[in-house]
Structure formats: structure tokens, C-alpha cells
Amino acid sequence: MDRSLDTFIKEIAELLGTTLQMRGADIASLIERPQKANQGDYALPCFFLGKEQGRNPVEIARELADQLAPAGSIEKIAAAGPYLNFFVNRIAFVGRAIGAVIKTGATYGHSTVGAGQTLVLDYSSPNIAKPFGIGHLRSTVIGHAIKKLHDALGYKTIGINHLGDWGTQFGSMIVAYKKWSDKPAEELTVSELVALYVKFHAESEADPALQDAARAAFKKLEEGDPEHVALWERFKADSLKEFDRIYDMLGVHIDVASGESFFNDKMGGTIKRLKAAGLATESEGALIVDLEGHGMPPCLLLKSDGATLYATRDLAAAEYRYQTYKFDRMVYVHGQEQKLHFKQVFKVLELLDREWAHGLVHAEFGHYRFKDAKMSTRKGKTILLEEVLNKAIELAEKIVTEKNPDLEDKTNVCRAVGIGAIIFADLSNRRKRDVEFDWDRILSFEGETGPYLQYAHVRVCSIERKWGKPIGPDTNLELLTEEAEFQLAKKLADFPPTIRRAAEQYEPSLVSTYLLEVAREFSSYYEAHRVLNEAAPDLTAARLTLVAAVRQTLANGLRLLGIEPLSEM
RNA sequence: GCGCCCGUAGCUCAGCCGGAUAGAGCAACGGAUUUCUAAUCCGUAGGUCGCAGGUUCGAGUCCUGCCGGGCGUGCCA
């Protein structure tokens, strides 16, 4: 947890400093947050003192509790076994925590720790001429969230959609088209393209000659054969149109769309440099970088027919991007199956003495698993992302019609609820884990879901709408004396460190989990405490400020995840 | 074979630098709506944290081995 901003920890450290004869920062790093409310607000585990002094930590904690006098915002110091527990002045805590949210508003949780640093993100990266399946949701939404998290921390970020628009697969497409389709290329739909792709893989299993033909066709494409290039451009244009529609639905806009083909004329230079550095060697007819000394299989640069490979394109892309953006870090949001690939690419760049190679990160993620059959694009078994999104929107419509039939902005609300549900369902899983794909679960709107967060946000908006007046600046937050109000304020104060941790670890799920906790505590508070009370205007104003802080935190968090907060649903 | 990731309640998952009594949701059961949106809330029940060792004052968390699952392991991306 990030302690630098916590003024209470600072106070505790100062209190302890003289007695323990330690530096404040060292003490601060030892302070913990107890799990249970009755254990105090902060705690110092005394085991390390016991060890140092060869004494029982329980005794030490008791002694310290006797010696130390509460001061400032620290109201009570008590020993509980080997722990020294600190209780803060709740009024002070609530005031500071809520004040911080209200003061910073839409930038609550943001900071400038990343100022002056550039972060390049490579994410989404769907393959041209393949359907945009549910599998590509992960890279897209995780990458988008990681980008937003870093934006919030002051980094300059550049998102790159490294489209899979080059490689042997396009040889397959061209062969399949020529062999089985009699339609002019410009009339082909994406689903017909996919059908060709599937057919190619089915047939090529029985007839390996097809694969040779595909490789030859890609070689020709790479050499610039006009007929092949024209077909490829046709396939690509159709796919891009389809992708754009899906990105619009998701609300994701990636700064730069440069496919692998963009590096077609840049790979030669990379290979030249690798040869000059003595790294590229020939082996079994192919050009490789031998990585045996680094415990890895060789990195393949050129196939024996001279055509390029995935690694060749990533190497050229990395060099080009460094030249262009001078990034401090570049994060690849790609599946965990590519781990070795990136390890190899990073190592080769390191061997080429590219200092910046140390700033390269593979933020890998696990995949959707399917209960029954194994999904495979090649076999034509896939769940289309668009289908999932549309089902979610339909379901949202059904529920809205039932619960709030007079809603004005129904189309937009249903879209935001449905899409938000899908995005949140994905982002609530820890990045590295595989996730079970389950229609019931991904389309659930109850419990730990996107709609649950939306609902909590909507409820606050509804309270504010009903009140209808602005809250005065002289609100007396000292009236927020309920236990639940203190706990809620504590939870809100955790938002900034959560964002930092999520960005550091490239782990949006930390934000998801956190937001669920905020919404849960708020919902519980909402049931038990009425906000609007004409008979008690001061208390009403104080509670309105508290729930406004909750709304702001939820809204900021949802936006970081790429979900649009709603005021009605 | 070797390498990487994962294994926590019936199911799906949280669990921070190793710290106090391992937490949620779903499903099940029982309650709550004259009151700010019940897409909600409250309660009950549900655990040998895959197994076996080790390190430590202390292990779901670190180390070793094994078991189970996923992925990778030279001309796909």
C-alpha cells in the first residue's frame, strides 16, 4: 500500500520515532492496516522488536502502549497481543478523506508520478480476415484499462493496435480464395472470408501441399506481386470496417493502428543490423539468432524460403517505435502463450545493445476456456464478441423495460449497462488466470458485476436529483459520526494507492475488486441510513457530501476501466 | 522430456511486503419494500487454502518434491 500520502501514518511514525529511535520512513513502512475494525485503524506489529531485543513482542507492545501518549489525530494507542494498535480521530479522518475526493473531483486518484515518462502499449491486435472473437476482448479491454491507468498517473501514453495483417495466414487466404471462391474479391463479406479460412484449415490437414502453396503465396505477397497485394488489401479493408464497429461499441479508440505489414520495408534493416552484430546465423536453411546460451530455443528471423516471421516483425517494430516515441517502457498486452516469443525478442534486442530493451514488458493474460469443445478459429468454432455484446445489450433492454419503462435515454443506457457488464466481467479476473467462459456468468447483472457498480452510482445520482439543490461549501462533515460513515471514508481513501498499484502491476482487476468493495459498503450504508432528511438540513448536507464522494470515486474508477458511469438506469 | 502459468466454500473468484478469527458473489435456505431506484440489503449454512516436506516467533502467501489443469517448446501468430 502507498503510504506517502497518508498523513495519519506520518503522525504515527513521528510519535514512535523518538521512542524507537528509528527514522520516520522506516517506521511508516512497518505500519499495517488491521483487517478488523475493532483492531484499530493502524497497527505496528512488534515481532521485529522482539527479535531485536530478544524479548516477548507481547510485552514490548504493552510497554509501548504505556509509554506513548496519544497526540494530534491519534486518539488511542492500545496493545493487543504482539500488536500495537492506533485509533485515529474519526472526525479528522472523515474530513480529510472526503475533502480530498470533493476537492479533486474528476481527478481524484490521479497523480503526476508518471510525468515526463512515455509508455507505449501494444494491445488488442486482432487478426485481419479472422473474426473478432471473444478471445480478443481480453487484450483490448485490459490494454485499454492499463493505458487509462497510466494516463491518470501522468504518463504520456501511446496505444498501438498491432494488427495481424501479415504472415503466412494471408497466403492461406489467397490460396483459399483462388481455389474455392468465384465471387469478385470486393463482394466478399467477412464471414465468407472466415469460411474460406476455416475450409483451408480443414482441407490442408489432409493435403499438406496446400500449406506449401500458402507459404509460396505469402512469399509472393511479401515480394509485392500486384495481384496478391490487391487481394490482401481487399481482405484487410473489409476486416477493418468490422473491427471499427466493434471498437465503437466498446468505446475503445486506439491511437495508432499500424499492422505488421507496416514493417515490411523495415525488417531488412533489422536483419542487416543483426547480421552486422554477428547475432544472425544460418541454421537448417533458416536465419536464426542462437539463444542457447540464454536457455532458450533459437529466435527465427527468416524461413528457409526467405520469408519473414512474427519475431522479425516484432523486432523491427520495437526498433521503429523506439526511434519514433523514445519510450521509457513499452508494454505488450498479449496472451500468455506468447511468453517465450517475447522473451526471445527482448533478449535479441538486449544482445543488440539496445539499452531500452530493459523497458520492454510482456503483460501476459490467460484465456477464455470453454466447457465443452475447445474453441478454435481454425475449426470455425468461436464465440463472436459482437454476439456477446449484442446479447448483453438485449438483456439490459429487457431488464430496463421491466424496471424503468419510462427511462428517457434508454438506448444509451442499455448500451452502457450491457457493454459495461461484459467489460467488467473480463476485467474482474486477474490478468494471468484463464477464465471460464460461461454465458450465465458473463451476462449476469446481479452480484459482483458491472451493473451492480452502475446501480450504486445511479442511486447516488438519484438522491442528488431528488435533493435538487447544490450543497453549500460550509458543510459540516463532523456530523458524519456513524461507524459506517467512517468505514466508507476509509474505503474511499484507498482509491489513489489502488490505482498506483494497479498501474504498477498492469493489473486492472485490482481496480475492479476495489470498486466492488466501495459499492458494497455504500449499498449497505444506503439501506441503513437515510441521506435526505428535511428536518436535519446540516446532517443532510454532510451525508450528501459523503455520497457525492462515493459517486465520484465510483465514476473515476469506472472510467479507468473503460466503463461509462450512468445517472439513471 | 524440459520451461512458464494456475490449483482457496458445491460453482466462479478476492486475499497487499509472510502477520491477528481466510473473505465476496452465484446457487440453497430464512427475512426486509408507506421511506433517497429491491439490478438492493440483512441473516443461516458452506473451508484439511491440491498433497507431502522445509524455512520462520508466525505460511493460503516463501523454498523443494509430487499430483492435477492450461500453455509453450524452429520455419503459425
Which pLDDT belongs to residue A383? 84
Q: What is the pTM for the complete model shown? A: 0.94
Chain B: positions less than 7 Å from a protein CB are 3-6, 12-17, 19-21, 23-27, 35-42, 57-58, 69-77
**What's A476-525 look like in SS3?**
CHHHCCCHHHHHHHHHHHCHHHHHHHHHHCCCCHHHHHHHHHHHHHHHHH
Q: What are the DSSP calls for A93-120, one per residue? A: HHHHHHHHHHHHGGGTT--STTTT-EEE
Please say if the pLDDT value at position A130 is more than 90.
no
Residue A23, CA atoms < 13 Å, CB-side half-sphere = 3
Q: Identify the helix (H) or strand (E) that includes residue A192.
A: helix A190-206
Distance (Å) from CA A411 to C1' B40? 24
Q: Which nucleotide is nearest to A369 (CA to C1')?
A: B70
Q: Which of residues 162-201 of A touch strand B (CB under 7 A)?
A: 164, 166-169
Cα A227 to chain center, whole Å? Answer: 41
Reported ipTM: 0.95
Give the helix, strand, coil percentages of chain A, each rounded to 5: 60, 10, 30
Q: Which nucleotide is nearest to A299 (CA to C1')?
A: B74
How many CB atoms are located within 10 Å of the residue A472 CB? 12
User: How far separated are the first and last CA of chain A, in Å rounded?
Assistant: 35
Average pLDDT over all residues of chain A: 91
Please say if the pLDDT value at position A472 is more than 80.
no
pLDDT band at A378 (very low <50, low <70, confident <90, very high): low
Q: Which of residues 35-94 of A touch strand B (CB under 7 A)?
A: 35-36, 38-40, 43, 45, 47-48, 51, 57, 80-83, 85
Distance (Å) from CA A156 to C1' B69? 40
Distance (Å) from CA A30 to C1' B61? 18
Each residue's pLDDT tens digit, A503-527: 999 999 999 999 999 999 999 999 9
Residue type at A46 in one-letter notation? C
- Averaged pLDDT for residues A279-298: 93
How far apart are alpha carbons A522 and A528 in whole angstroms?
Answer: 10
Asked if strand B comes closer than 7 Å to A127 Cβ, the answer is yes
**Which residues, in sequence order, are CB contacts of A224 under 8 Å at separation 6+?**
none
- Per DSSP, the three-state class of A173 is helix
How far apart are alpha carbons A476 and A482 in whole angstroms?
Answer: 14
How many CB atoms are located within 10 Å of the residue A397 CB? 17
Q: Which nucleotide is nearest to A127 (CA to C1')?
A: B77
Distance (Å) from CA A528 to C1' B41? 8
Q: Which nucleotide is nearest to A81 (CA to C1')?
A: B20
Q: Which of residues 309-348 of A touch strand B (CB under 7 A)?
A: 309-310, 336-341
pLDDT more than 90, % of chain A = 69
* C-alpha cell recorded at residue A85: 494498535
* C-alpha cell recorded at residue A393: 445489450
- Per DSSP, the three-state class of A462 is helix
